[in-house]
Amino acid sequence: MSESPLEASAVRARVRSGSRFLPLVLAALLAWSPVSAASRLDPAEKETLEQTPGVVLVVVTYQITATFQIKDEAQKLELPYTVFGTGFIYRPDGYVITNGHVVADANMKDAQAQAALQESIRQAVLIERLVPAFEKATQRDLSGHEDELARAINLHMSYSVPVLKVYLANKSGFNGEIKAYSDPVTKGGKDVSIVKIDGNNLPTVRLGDSNKVHIQEAMRVIGYPGAASPLGLSLIGMESLFVPTVTNGHVSAVKMDFKGQPVIQSDAAITHGNSGGPAFNAAGEVIGIATFGPEVAGLNFFVPINTAIEFVNQVGAKPEQGLFDSLWKEALDTYDAGKCETSKKKLDDVLRIMPNEPDATRLFAAAEACAVDEGPVGRMTENAGYVMWGLGGLLVLLLAAALLMMRGKQAAPAPAMAGGAPKVEFQPQPALPPAADRSFGTIQVTGGSLAGRRFPVTKAGLLLGRDGAKCQVVFTEDVVSGEHAWIVPLDNGVVVIDRGSSNGTFINSVESPRVSKVGLQNGDRVFLGKKGSVVVTYFAS
């Protein structure tokens, strides 16, 4: 049966209408699907942000008391004597690499070095403090006669035991213990020291291989140069001491010092306070340690990291990365990709482990502003890109199939029907039931002041400790730290993370090694402290 001109015209009109509709559908699909946003971080900035948390400020402090007489008037002067330097954490349980000369003043095992140090402090106090005071009081010029002045004013000095402290970027301070030490280069040593601090889940840096260093290779140096006198004559604000400085340069040469030990020469700028700080290669690995320079621009030297690894092996603490590093990288990746709402959650995880970390705090505020700008649809779809593209693709395929069916009507005329063209009805699909909230299990206190209490593990986790302002499960026992442990859904399971507690966290037995982070299985018991008096049991359902 032949098709009438009127029927053929109608079919062609439907095909043309469908063809005009297809570009509109595609345009809507592109507008609806999330488009990859431009990077929010400069690549060099992102690399630096990854590395900075593991770089630490190293401080050695003395208290000096000087008694003396000027014009028969007895006087007393109390001064802090502070040496600033830099270091970097290479294990999340608190192992730090720095220069030997940065912590030399705290090396109490060397009596000769301590005597030399005290004499240098004595000379500094005379020259910087007492000579000006004496000249002002007597109107006499004593330049070059410091020893004469010491006798004239009956100078006596005493020194406190030096305190070695290591500070993170969030200003958290830890007492340091020297585990390995080598004298400065000027004394024939390798100028490396390993310092241990008592911490868990600390940020780290990655160590490279300095044997692979090549000339003109790019270097990034991070450290805490302080324009300040050791006697407290600060030329910058105290807040700025916790702001790291980043300088860039290249490997100028690999040379030998006067003992035949290799040193890396670079044009990267360093100064007092940079000592002990890391120099990174383009892969983000430490290849050298800032050590000394002759105060000539573009002529600075770095101890090769392989020299430091000799001391790492000596103390038996091999390099590792930890939970902070993986969470921090995920947070930076999601923020850089423009996934603002997701990055807020990632950054919140980072700040739970390292509260007040300045870069994480700053990016969290930026992510909040970004999440407002992207709107509710953007927040909903930022992690559903593949799903939405799949749905959009299915829509296009259905439309194409419909168009092909309409084209087929040119060869097969539609049956005549009373009342006009057939009416096509689409049956609505039944709505899917809403997904139930995932359960992360519960914990039950089976020992301690809260024995018998049960707490559901939320998506944000549960903090266990004595600090009622921060913890959801609050104990009164002294064995429990302020923020002792965090039980939180992570890595497709539930983990317990020690929050740097004093008495440790143990799984199933206090005789087992203390943990920093470990996955929990149904029925696992978590001991807060070595005494075993405070216990919680995890139930997966």
**Residue 35 neighbours by CB distance under 10 Å:** 9
Strands (E), 239-360: 245-256, 262-266, 278-280, 285-292, 300-304
> Which has the closest alpha carbon to 248: 51, 41, 83?
51
**Residue 54 neighbours by CB distance under 10 Å:** 26
Q: Average pLDDT in the 245-256 region?
A: 93
Question: Alpha-carbon distance 497 to 109, whole Å?
Answer: 36
Q: Mind listing the pLDDT tens digit for each residue in 313-325? A: 999 999 999 889 9
Q: Mind listing the pLDDT tens digit for each residue in 212-232? A: 999 999 999 999 987 554 545
Domains defined along the chain, listed by start? 5-33+385-408 (no CATH), 55-107+155-315 (2.40.10.120), 322-381 (no CATH), 442-539 (2.60.200.20)
Res 335 pLDDT > 50: yes
Question: Alpha-carbon distance 268 to 247, whole Å?
Answer: 6
- Residue identified by tokens 């299990």 is 441
Q: Average pLDDT in the 66-95 region?
A: 88
Res 415 pLDDT > 50: no
Report the percentage of the chain scoring pLDDT > 70: 76
* 8 Å CB contact between 351 and 460: no
Q: Which of 375-389, 420-434, 469-483 has the highest mean pLDDT?
A: 469-483
* 8 Å CB contact between 245 and 225: yes
